[in-house]
Structure 1
């Protein structure tokens, strides 16, 4: 573990949530030589997925929730993050002259649209009941509205509405975080060759170093790998602790000549919705965005994609734009699940069909808790990863806890102990025990095409 000082040279691999939040908080903590490297020019593109940025952070929107079952530490951290999201909304309005090109004064990152958690049965699941007990313990149970009305408009399912939750506009939030980090003194190398890290090394002096695709070697006092779905390919030691998996995303475009639907699905009127997240359905949806796009996601199955990496077979991203082997379609299983959700819960959207699909590559840990620690046996090399599909909400505050760990104080904090490097011998390890022989491998799936986007199509039936 390196002893850091304000002049320590710190290199961060990845400009997504883990990387950019860590960089921002390092700079705010007085570190003057922090550089973020990324193979995608996220700054110029404003992280916008519509212009070809491939990462879990570069998304239309992400859920802000405080429902964590018995995991009250995450509930508390999410509550603290919400206060900082409020502050970021205020800063955009009051400091508009310093905004990146992708943002304007009228933009709003954090929307308290409410969060409706739907059960697929006539009873609330155990996770939901545990969440409500923790909400009561924290004195915020009155913000959760439980519906036991079998005639309510979402059908016969039990539900809880969290009036304090909602969503953030993800790519705009990352663009704002990068802007804050840059103003705080963080340097960036965002380039397909100069910013693409191909290997990690150690200098003759024993310092950590990275080699980029342009052939250069960058030496530092500390290297932090926060590469999202690309992290396991850079750190072999993470095998068995982390796995790259994909969630499924589809969008529906509302026509501009339907003001009734634009009004109904506006974030002021319509909540974020999850449907059977702990009961096998694994579906979530958002209100429309400013362009009339409604995003629906499926995480009931987390897909893997195994390939050769330096003599290893590991799961790696397979995206529409960045990776050598490309994929923009979803497995038919995902399409069928998304169509079922829309047909049951929002049937007025079925006539428009699906307008786009995308595989969103995350990094899952063995227990869905983050991994922020020094890599065993690799002096000066740290990892910040394992978002497991729920990391984005912590963007404004995550780096605060990461810095404590990097400074060697992880054992003194709740999150340092939660996120430490760990192993598991249990038979079930969040799917990581399956490996390439498992059923979630992308190459084993029947893939959809645009013909399956229509709700009139029968070809998406499995």
Structure 2
């Protein structure tokens, strides 16, 4: 088993974590494919990498309300991130700076009482891990465990006489996304050089289609590997798709379970020295605002990274239905490129900035960040039942979870692949055959009000936040 070829399609968080976990378990013939040449492009969005893993930063949190299984996975991952921070420092990888900043993740709400999710978070995390920000001693408690004072009230709402309510996850903070991917790719290539094989680039790394053979005497089909766009055939007993929002382009059967959805992202260049200090990675938390409020909520943001502050909107998850796909990824680097974002979400971002971040006068860049959403917000980590002999395994439906669990998700995936007795609950939770009440309406086509074809798209003229600023 360990010498047989394993193909992984997709070198983002899911693909890399799976590869690393399998390599650590003794697999000696692991091949990973991706259409982006990450070795040279470094998971840098500005260089043309448009996967959800190719980003400056991602939120880390363990606050998951009643979903204590995700809480545990995040806390397990956090231990690995702390170990990686030390290893990166010790070997001076890319200057030795950390990939995980524990500056807190604060969930702010416009409600005067805590929403149910935050109440359950307080119940299921310890008093040192989760703090209600409206408590009179919240700042004192946060400081006592090493959190920056701003983590409780990052936008100085109390000082400005505004309502402050929410929960601070003191285990939370920020992950340097692109560097984290480069680090795990580095581990795979250096620790398992003879067993790990990369196939990156628009021809040798891009999948054209799955290789399929039919089981003799039956109508069952088996996945035999993949064909890449350079015409080469790559044969394996096990093919793993970790394609994120491109999943249904590779495995059309997955359209019944997952859908590509895009979130609005805005970047603002910060140059003022005082603002750079105030919003620095060490002193400023990641944050969300009314993140579970549909439509008008769903904002999230970050400290400054490489001179840019990033704010996103996921209150409505945009789709791009086509004749062939329920929703197709559309970015500035697609064959049919999209440079702009829906005006609706951008207006909400600008409104929040205008009220709470006085240093920002205008936006400097916008983009769509695409994810793989499942109908119930849980992962799809399962053998595909449409392919015989356990020949095709699918990882999708990360719904924004995956980066927080970068350190732990690989072992969960490997346990499900190997069908061990470990993580039996998660195997069922993430299975293809699960039947649960859907939380997301997927596959609504062009009639979906979230479809990009039904949106008024913003332009650069909409980037002004304060009218005194000129583009």
| Both proteins in one fold, TM over 0.5 | yes
* Aligned CA distance change for structure 1 residues 248 and 141 (closer, same or farther; 3 Å): same
Deviation at 1:181, TM superposition (A): 1.2
Q: Do the aligned partners of 1:451 and 1:457 also contact (CA within 8 Å) in 2? A: no
Q: Which residue of 2 aligns with 1:418?
A: 429
Q: Do the aligned partners of 2:203 and 2:229 also contact (CA within 8 Å) in 1? A: yes
* Aligned CA distance change for structure 1 residues 284 and 207 (closer, same or farther; 3 Å): closer
Deviation at 1:210, TM superposition (A): 0.8
TM-score (norm: length of structure 2): 0.88
Q: Does 1:126 align with 2:142?
A: no
C-alpha offsets along residues 189-215 of structure 1, whole Å, 9 cap, x if unaligned? Answer: 001011111211224785522111112
In 2, Cα distance between equivalents of 1:220 and 1:155: 59
User: SS of the counterpart of 1:47?
Assistant: coil
Choose 377-386 or 417-426, whichever is displaced more: 417-426
Q: Does 1:356 align with 2:337?
A: no
Deviation at 1:49, TM superposition (A): 1.1
Q: Which residue of 2 aligns with 1:377?
A: 386
Deviation at 1:232, TM superposition (A): 1.1
User: In structure 2, which of residues 300, 303, 314 is the aligned counterpart of residue 284 of structure 1?
Assistant: 300
User: SS of the counterpart of 1:298?
Assistant: strand
Q: Do the aligned partners of 1:233 and 1:314 also contact (CA within 8 Å) in 2? A: no
User: In structure 1, which of residues 62, 65, 68 is the aligned counterpart of residue 61 of structure 2?
Assistant: 65
Deviation at 1:121, TM superposition (A): 1.9
* Aligned CA distance change for structure 1 residues 413 and 217 (closer, same or farther; 3 Å): same
Q: Which ranges in structure 2 are unaligned for 5 or more consecutive residues? A: 137-156, 216-221
Q: Does 1:117 align with 2:107?
A: yes
Deviation at 1:389, TM superposition (A): 1.2
In 1, Cα distance between equivalents of 2:161 and 2:447: 39
TM-score (norm: length of structure 1): 0.90
In 2, Cα distance between equivalents of 1:211 and 1:317: 21
Q: Does 1:56 align with 2:66?
A: no
In 2, Cα distance between equivalents of 1:328 and 1:26: 38
Q: Do the aligned partners of 1:366 and 1:424 also contact (CA within 8 Å) in 2? A: no
Q: Which residue of 1 aligns with 2:183?
A: 176
User: SS of the counterpart of 1:55?
Assistant: coil
1:58-457 equivalent positions in 2, closer than 5 A: 58-96=54-92, 99=93, 103-105=94-96, 107-135=97-125, 140-148=126-134, 151-152=158-159, 155-183=162-190, 184=192, 185-203=195-213, 208-255=224-271, 258-280=272-294, 281-289=297-305, 291-308=306-323, 312-321=324-333, 323-349=334-360, 351=361, 353-379=362-388, 380-409=391-420, 413-422=424-433, 424=435, 426=437, 428-432=438-442, 434-456=444-466
* Aligned CA distance change for structure 1 residues 154 and 374 (closer, same or farther; 3 Å): farther
Q: Do the aligned partners of 2:3 and 2:27 also contact (CA within 8 Å) in 1? A: yes
In 2, Cα distance between equivalents of 1:172 and 1:147: 31
- Give the number of aligned pairs: 434
Q: Do the aligned partners of 2:412 and 2:423 also contact (CA within 8 Å) in 1? A: no
Q: Which ranges in structure 1 are unaligned for 5 or more consecutive residues? A: none
